[in-house]
Structure 1
């Protein structure tokens, strides 16, 4: 395995080993690849209103996010085959090049149509960059450092929440939104050169298939996301329910294909009821949903109901990502007992926070410190819990997967996270609209939407608490203590 010679005494892994010598340069490549995606994701939220004022296309505003996520899912799934065919060096260069092309199109966009093409290319490259980071971990680091490396990657999201909104807000305020994309374009090209110099050129080994792509399953996932996204904005609740039913049907078809076909997006049998991987994937998805539902609507509710400025509302929401980063970084070196405790605690914190928000968020307030401090604490608690558990979830999935399919498992981590992001956005939007966010709208509509969105989504962490018990038992059986 490339990179193990840099490890020194790998039986006693430390953060120092991860960031020293050749390992330090490789860690930097993986971290920056994830950071490019995350910074871009938060930056666009700040500059998109300015871009729409300039080039028009308000009707297709939401498609900037929809197409980005759909393309990211495709990129995530393609990454494993790019890695097997091209090797780490050229796969990273290709992903960064596609991302740079998307940023260039956005920077030059004369209309929303070109902007959407740019966002699609950005999503394709970003999905590959994030998925490659998790896949390359096991190729360039010895196994004892996997959990720490995954904690490092998770921490990049918290850093991005500090850089992305500030970067986007600055360029939006000075009327230079295109400059933000020019900087991303140039930065990604410099990153590509750095990756080529640092990463090994050899093709990946076991678990990196170069065979046919599971196009049928990939298209079923994409279609289920698109159906949910389109119907979540429908005016009638019956249309929302029809879209949800169709999307569930497409996902069931996806699961059927995963079980019966040789080409797959997930390790063999991962969705089987008796599979040890299924509880890990379910907990991963449940924790991601708990975070995403808060991230999607919290800024809006904070502005409408708690009278916070957009910047303040954005950075209050960023406390969740900051907690995620802190939790991931500190939990990367946890003992086996601490890891199991983190896996059990994460959904409990999520459940408690969402139940609290169900009660507190719908109540209009003056926006004083006494009002917003409890909200900030709840956001930070959710993020910290997920961050503490995340590296051990990802590491557990890799260790439960046979070596020949660890490449698929690595790529699937990003695919599942992106898919749950899209599902959370669409389902939360459907609930909010049905509860009255748009009609009657205003403060009353926001109150009703805040209550029902958080109340219904509290079921997710509640179920995750039950799933976590099985995950903890399986984690213990891995021989981790």
Structure 2
């Protein structure tokens, strides 16, 4: 990856108090509840799924449960703009919330792995819609001077939700079983639906960006969805060594989708993604690669903690939550950095912290040292806290005003695409090595390779982030 420097323009920065003013507080609550719901539900499931798959005799399908969830998230992310164009933000958000509820019911009542996985797919689709719609609304709901504050706040909301999720999910599972753990996000979901009905913009449909996506333009999302399904194959078919070929095949289909979209008069995807000369291009690589690195932890950490260390759901949740604790502790101070030099140092340090975290977790399993795993979780949380708010803000500022809503909406989808590639690759590696079904000795020998794959992805993210220079903020 060649070294180029991409700098985004600076704008005055508003005050934190402005987000909680009488006019903006309802909007802040809408976006925060939407993003918090996804974060809470995604992470709360971590200590619950291992218990559920063991009870349903489906351990080998654990990576599939995550990959198809992520596939649903991407499907929701790439179709959210179409949904908003057709039905408007309020109807789209309410429909997504109801689908989320249906997925929850499907999972709670599951008696076979197929039903549990179907519920996970529905959860993913709903989450993709909710997060993409909420991110897409940010540029239109808030003045430009507050965009940086909004992204920093949402990074903290994500971290707090991710902090409470594993604790709530683990406690509910230990006290009342895994079905209760799957339903732990129900109160938050009902609250989100109520806020969406009261606050989300009205209207039957909206024009976003250059106009409505035409029939030829729908080929791009179709190719994107095909790529998602292909990238999910390694975890869906772990016993097939050739399934690993789905990773380059899925990437090839993704490239075709981008190339086809570029030729359309009205583009489905915002311009500049996955380039090397702009903040948007390099930033999309960083989001993708850091998420791919972390997916190994998302999919396998809870299960392997239970198998290697014999931890209960509550203690598993506490280990998982250390990542969110460090993210929450670092996110707001990182977002307060004012000078360009300080912001650049923080942004560039993020992937290095993730590399360190991956290596620490690998060492923790290799030497049966739980404190190393906890330290690794802290380092990974710090990595995301340093990068997430600053990078999302930089990408949105770099985008042309007419496509900022679309760029903002696609950011969580880029991260989830990385999670799909990471989960598929890690799932295939785990199946081939036998680590997910092995004893403590097999885990010590094979598990570190999963996190070494994560360290490699994070290292590539560092190469991408070095060319980004976030602008200083004023005021």
TM-score interval (norm. to shorter) = 0.7 to 0.9
Deviation readout 1:431-469 (Å, 9 max, x if unpaired)? 333445268x32332123223222233222222222222
One of 464, 467, 471 as aligned partner of 2:464: 467
Match of 1:342 among 346, 350, 371: 346
Contact 1:71 1:127 in 2 (8 A): yes
TM-superposed deviation, 1:405? 1.4
SS at match of 1:267: coil
**For the Cα contact (< 8 Å) 1:147–1:333, is it kept in 2?**
no
Task: Please give the alpha-carbon distance, in whole angstroms, between the structure 2 residues aligned to 1:356 and 1:50.
Answer: 26
1:138 shift after superposition: 1.0
Q: What does residue 405 of structure 2 align with?
A: 407
1:61 deviation in Å? 5.3
TM-score, with structure 1 as normaliser: 0.84
Partner of 2:4: none
Q: For residues 434 and 57 of structure 1, what CA distance do their matches in structure 2 show?
A: 17
1:287 pairs with one of 285, 290, 310: 290
* 1:327 matched to 2:330: yes
In structure 1, how many angstroms separate the alpha carbons of the residues matched to 2:414 and 2:76? 13
Q: Which residue of structure 2 lines up, in the alignment, with residue 3 of structure 1?
A: none
C-alpha contact 1:232 1:243 (8 A) present in aligned 2: no
Return closer, same or farther for 1:136/1:52 CA change in 2, 3 Å cut-off. Answer: same
Indicate yes or no: 2:454 matched with 1:457: yes
Q: Could you say which residue in structure 2 is the equivalent of 1:431?
A: 429
Gaps of 5+ in 1: 1-9, 365-370
Distance 1:456 1:103 in 2: 32
How far does residue 411 in structure 1 lie from its aligned partner after superposition?
1.8
Residue 391 of structure 1 and its aligned partner are, at CA, apart by 1.1
Matched residue SS, 1:458:
helix
Q: Please say if residues 352 and 458 of structure 2, whose CA atoms lie closer than 8 Å, have aligned partners that are also in contact.
A: yes
Q: Which of 415, 420, 426 is 1:422 aligned to?
A: 420
Distance 1:61 1:455 in 2: 20
Aligned mates of 2:114, 2:380 — CA distance in 1: 37
Describe the shift of the 1:437–1:180 C-alpha distance in structure 2 as closer, same or farther (beyond 3 A): closer
- In the alignment, the residues of structure 1 paired with residue 362 and residue 62 of structure 2 have an alpha-carbon distance, to the nearest angstrom, of 28
**1:447 is matched with which residue: 423, 444, 449?**
444
1:209/1:407 contact within 8 Å kept: no
Q: What is the CA-CA distance between 1:380 and the residue it aligns to?
A: 1.1
Contact 1:34 1:153 in 2 (8 A): yes
Q: What does 1:166-177 correspond to in 2, within 5 Å?
A: 166-175=167-176, 177=178
- Quote how far apart the aligned CAs of 1:251 are: 2.6
- Please provide the CA RMSD for this pair: 3.2
Q: Which residue in the other structure is 1:17 paired with? A: 18
Cα distance, 1:393–1:235 mapped onto 2, change above 3 Å: closer
Other structure's SS at 1:449 match: helix
Contact 2:163 2:324 in 1 (8 A): no
1:324–1:383 CA contact under 8 A, matched in 2? yes
How far the C-alpha of 1:48 sits from its partner, in A, is 4.2
Residue in 2 that maps onto 1:384: 382
The answer to whether the Cα contact below 8 Å between 2:307 and 2:440 also exists between their aligned partners in 1 is: yes
Q: 2:163·2:322 contact (CA, 8 Å) conserved in 1?
A: no
Give the Å deviation of 1:27.
1.1
SS at match of 1:270: coil
Distance 1:120 1:158 in 2: 23
Check whether the contact 1:208–1:408 (CA below 8 A) recurs between aligned residues.
Answer: no
Matches within 5 A, 1:183-262: 184-185=185-186, 187-201=188-202, 207=209, 209-212=211-214, 214-232=217-235, 234=237, 238-262=241-265
CA-CA distance at 1:348 after TM superposition: 1.8
Change (3 A) 1:444 1:251: farther
TM-superposed deviation, 1:342: 1.3
Query: Counterparts of 2:154 and 2:361 in 1: how far apart (Å)?
Result: 28
Q: Is the 8 A contact 1:151 1:332 kept in 2?
A: yes
- What SS is found at the alignment partner of 2:24? helix
Kept in 1, the 8 Å contact 2:170–2:313? The answer is: no
Matched, 1:362 2:359: no
Match of 1:373 in 2: 371
State the aligned residue count.
462
CA distance in 2, matches of 1:55, 1:372: 28
Pick which of 242-251 and 379-388 moved more. Answer: 242-251
Report the Cα distance in structure 1 between the residues aligned to 2:305 and 2:59, rounded to whole angstroms: 23
CA pair 118-451 structure 1, distance change in 2 beyond 3 A: closer
